[in-house]
Amino acid sequence: MSGLRILLLAALAAGCAPAPLQERDLLAQRIAAPHRTPANVARDRYRHPLEVLEFLGVSKDSVVVEILPGSSGYYMEILAPHLKEKGRYVAASRDASAAPRYLADHRKLLARLAAEPGLYGKVVVTQFNAGLHEVAPAGSADYVLTFRNLHNWVERNEIDGALSAFRRALKPGGILGIVDHRGRTDLPQAAQMKSGYLREDYVIALVEHAGFRLAGRSEDNANPKDSKDHPAGVWTLPPTLRLKDQDRARYLAIGESDRFTLKFVTR
């Protein structure tokens, strides 16, 4: 029997109503819920979703826009059920101009939402493509969250448009949460762009220039084992393992990439 259930039964036996669950407990329940896919659960040891969401301050009544959650929906599995009663989860997904493989994944996402209405029936789907679309109505979001996407937008020179779209969607004082692969400080950003890594100081300057203020940094997703000099860049490491069986045990032992977790607030 779980510790949480024991506490609830003890409270009832004593003739008193159990105290309301705290936000951390509710999030922990979502993370431990049986609907989550085994592949996503396997990533928890590297991604620390409870600590990340607690650091960012997401609560059950928040309006949260996640950028490109994909059909795997790592954070969607947690956030959509958590927000469906009092908050809102918005999946900012691909538009019609996306490459065929991304459009296929977008259709897979829509099919998943339709197949599990008890979990995802209240999810709002919008379009994202740099600054071309409104990811949510202007000034409506408490949070815009992006996980391991920023390096793509920087490389494709789409970052200014993306940050502009995020800022428009956020309420005054809204939070932009960013997790991405942390680059080396002994190399300029240009020298490591193709490897998928981003210098943390480079990202902070970039986002602050777009009208945000750094409000916090977390080391929950740090990985000192990541040397950041892999032959196929960050994709050498799990979960991609681009080299397949070549040195597989070595890269599995390293784990997922070293990552920064940053919280910005709109100015």
> For 215-263, how does the pLDDT look when each residue is reduced to its tens digit (9 = 90+)?
999 999 999 999 999 999 999 999 999 999 999 999 999 999 999 999 9
Residue 2 binned pLDDT confidence (cut-offs 50, 70, 90): very low
In degrees, rounded to 5, the angle at the alpha carbon of residue 27 between the alpha carbons of residues 23 and 32 is: 150
Percent of the chain clearing pLDDT 70 (strictly above): 92
pLDDT at 17 over 60: no
Domain boundaries, the chain: 19-225+258-266
Give the domain 19-225+258-266 fold. Rossmann fold (3.40.50)
User: Measured between alpha carbons, how far is 248 from 245 in angstroms, rounded to an integer?
Assistant: 5
Distance CA(145)–CA(176), nearest Å, equals 6
**In the predicted model, is pLDDT for residue 14 greater than 80?**
no
pLDDT(191) > 80: yes
Average pLDDT over residues 191-204: 97
Compute the mean pLDDT over every residue in the chain, rounded to the nearest whole number.
94
Could you tell me the CA-to-CA distances from 140 to 53, 54, 63, 210, 222 in Å, in that order? 19, 21, 7, 19, 31
Residue 201 pLDDT exceeds 80 = yes
Is the preceding peptide bond at 224 cis, omega within 30 degrees of 0? no
Cβ within 8 Å of residue 40, ≥6 positions away: 72, 73, 74, 77
For residue 108, what pLDDT is reported? Answer: 98
The reported pTM is 0.91
Burial label for 161, CB within 10 Å (0-12, 13-18, 19+), is middle
Q: Judge whether residue 10 has pLDDT over 60.
A: no
C-alpha 219/C-alpha 6 separation (Å) is 33
Any bridge partners for residue 151, and if so which?
Answer: none
